[in-house]
């Protein structure tokens, strides 16, 4: 039963709530591109020293808000943007020197595009940018520093930026970007349901009941349940690693269907997350520091240590010993490293982590019935679960 309209409906240029998720994702990612999770990785430490990410570069205050009992500001800046030419496949066009071809002001005017762009930034009370949304060669780029993931900045930035630029192409999704955009679409549909807009639009002939039913049917079920196998002993142990291997997650594959459809089974889901180690690169020291380390049960610490040491050995990049959270001292197996001048260098490769990562992708896709979109959503949920448990 659809609710009656409770507030005035305003027509939008591109309206995600009037499309299925597949239709909306194709509309904003026409080329079907994807990027590794590390494509646009940044940290609080990096942003703190970047002049172009300073608060004074974003002079206009939009609003202040509170998240996790901390106060933040959403600000904007306006500057001239660059729009890159692309072919029918969505690939950027380059000249004979390999440089990207861009539109000039006259060409943008003919296309009806404003050459000036609005960028958004979320700042903490120390004036450090913790999240941003901007034009990246004519597409949308949203980033949140690693330390502030889970604060809801992604949704705030995406919602506001899509209001400004509803037709702008996403440029492709990272796994987290895919999850963020899918959640944005879900929220848009739930908002229309709550405000009674679907009822209004059906009465006025702007959409059919059948189309609304198709759109709404995609929403994750909140209350409906069916029998699900919760026996963790029947699952496989998988090792997920990010595109640049700066984090490893060990989990029981039984949690994949639970995460996708039965998010309320928190007790069983948490039992299935067995280990997590997350590194952050510190540019000033050309080394990594351990940001999160979770072992559940404790014996998983040995596996995580061997995965981590193997990855660091291949890259020839050390770990910082004296990290502020004491993570190295508490969790890292010192026997696997040679320590000098406050840095720990891995002695050897102990595990074939790349093969394990490939096997995890194959198994996750198989569990998701070979649906790539569902497998990517599962990946995002697994990473979010690891982050949340490590922070508890």
Quickly tell me which residue has 């039963």 as its tokens. 1
In a domain, 294, yes or no: yes
In a domain, 53, yes or no: yes
pLDDT for 387: 84
What confidence score (pLDDT) does residue 225 get? 43
Structural domain ending residue among the three candidates 172, 188, 223? 172
Last residue of a domain, one of 156, 172, 188: 172
User: Residues 48, 163: one domain?
Assistant: yes
Q: Which helix (H) or strand (E) holds 344?
A: strand 343-346
For 91, the domain range is 30-172
The verdict on 236 and 166 lying in the same domain is: no
Same domain, 338 and 258: yes
pLDDT at 314: 92
Cα–Cα–Cα angle for 150, 343, 305, rounded to 5 degrees: 60
Total domain count, the chain: 2
Percent of the chain exceeding pLDDT 70 equals: 89
Residue 292 in any domain: the answer is yes
238, 386: one domain: yes
> Chunked in runs of 10, what are the mean pLDDT values of the chain (392 residues)?
62 85 88 72 85 91 90 93 74 84 83 83 94 87 87 92 88 83 92 89 90 89 50 73 78 88 65 90 90 88 93 93 87 94 93 91 91 87 86 67
The answer to whether residue 162 sits within a structural domain is yes
Q: Is 102 domain-assigned?
A: yes
**Predicted pLDDT at 223:** 45
Q: List, in sequence order, every residue forming a beta bridge with 116; answer none if it has no partner.
A: 80
Q: What's the pLDDT score for residue 2? A: 59
Residues 6+ apart with CB under 8 A from 40: 141, 143, 174
The answer to whether residues 41 and 153 belong to one domain is: yes
Peptide bond into 283 cis (omega under 30): no
Q: How far apart are CA 334 and CA 83, in angstroms?
A: 50
Q: What is the pLDDT of residue 3?
A: 60
248 and 368 both lie in a single domain: yes
Please check whether residues 370 and 241 belong to one and the same domain: yes
Rounded CA-CA distance 221/16 in Å is: 19
Assess whether 280 and 372 both reside in one domain.
yes
- DSSP state string for 276-310: EEEEEEEGGGTEEEEEEEEESSTTHHHHHHHHHHH
Task: Report the C-alpha gap between 308 and 350 in whole angstroms.
Answer: 9
Residue 227 lies in a domain: no
Instruction: Kindly report the pTM of this predicted structure.
Output: 0.59
Q: What is the pLDDT of residues 84-105, one digit of tens each?
A: 787 776 677 888 888 888 888 8
368 part of a folded domain: yes
pLDDT at 381: 87
DSSP structure class, residue 324:
T
Note every long-range contact of 105-108, with CB atoms under 8 Å and residues 24 or more positions apart, other chains counting: 108/83
Quickly list H helices, 316-371: 327-331, 353-367
Domain boundary among 155, 172, 189: 172
As given in the structure block, the two tokens for residue 140 are 């949308």
Q: Considering the domain boundaries, does residue 272 fall inside one?
A: yes
């Amino acid at each position: 039963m659809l609710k009656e309209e409770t507030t005035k409906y305003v027509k939008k240029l591109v309206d995600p709530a009037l499309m299925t998720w597949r239709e909306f994702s194709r509309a904003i990612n026409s080329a079907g591109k994807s990027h590794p999770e590390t494509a646009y990785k940044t940290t609080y430490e990096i942003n703190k020293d970047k002049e172009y990410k300073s608060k004074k570069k974003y002079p206009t205050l939009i609003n202040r808000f509170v998240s996790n009992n901390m106060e933040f500001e959403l600000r904007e800046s306006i500057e001239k943007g660059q729009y890159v030419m692309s072919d029918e496949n969505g690939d950027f066009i380059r000249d004979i020197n390999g440089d990207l071809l861009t539109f000039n002001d006259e060409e943008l005017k003919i296309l009806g595009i404003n050459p000036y762009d609005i960028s958004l930034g979320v700042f903490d009370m120390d004036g450090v940018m913790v999240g941003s949304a901007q034009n990246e060669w004519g597409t949308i780029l949203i980033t949140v520093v690693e330390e502030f993931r889970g604060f809801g900045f992604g949704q705030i930035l995406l919602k506001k930026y899509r209001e400004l630029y509803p037709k702008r192409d996403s440029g492709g999704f990272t796994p987290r970007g895919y999850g963020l955009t899918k959640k944005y679409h879900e929220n848009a549909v739930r908002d229309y349901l709550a405000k009674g807009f679907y009822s209004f639009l059906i009465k006025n002939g702007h959409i059919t009941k059948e189309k609304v039913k198709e759109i709404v049917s995609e929403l994750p079920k909140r209350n409906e349940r069916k029998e699900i196998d919760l026996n963790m002993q029947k699952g496989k142990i998988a090792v997920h690693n990010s595109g640049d291997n700066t984090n490893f997650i060990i989990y029981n594959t039984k949690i994949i269907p639970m995460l996708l459809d039965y998010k309320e089974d928190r007790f069983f889901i948490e039992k299935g997350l067995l280990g997590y180690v997350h590194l952050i690169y510190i540019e000033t020291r050309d080394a990594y520091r351990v940001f999160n380390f979770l072992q559940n049960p404790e014996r998983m610490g040995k596996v995580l240590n061997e995965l981590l040491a193997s990855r660091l050995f291949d890259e020839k990049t050390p770990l910082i010993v004296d990290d502020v959270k004491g993570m190295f001292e508490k969790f890292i197996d010192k026997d696997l490293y040679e320590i000098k001048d406050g840095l720990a260098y891995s002695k050897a490769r102990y595990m074939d982590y790349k093969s394990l990562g490939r096997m995890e992708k194959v198994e996750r896709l198989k569990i998701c019935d070979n649906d790539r979109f569902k497998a990517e959503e599962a990946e995002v949920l697994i990473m979010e679960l690891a982050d949340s448990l490590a922070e508890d």
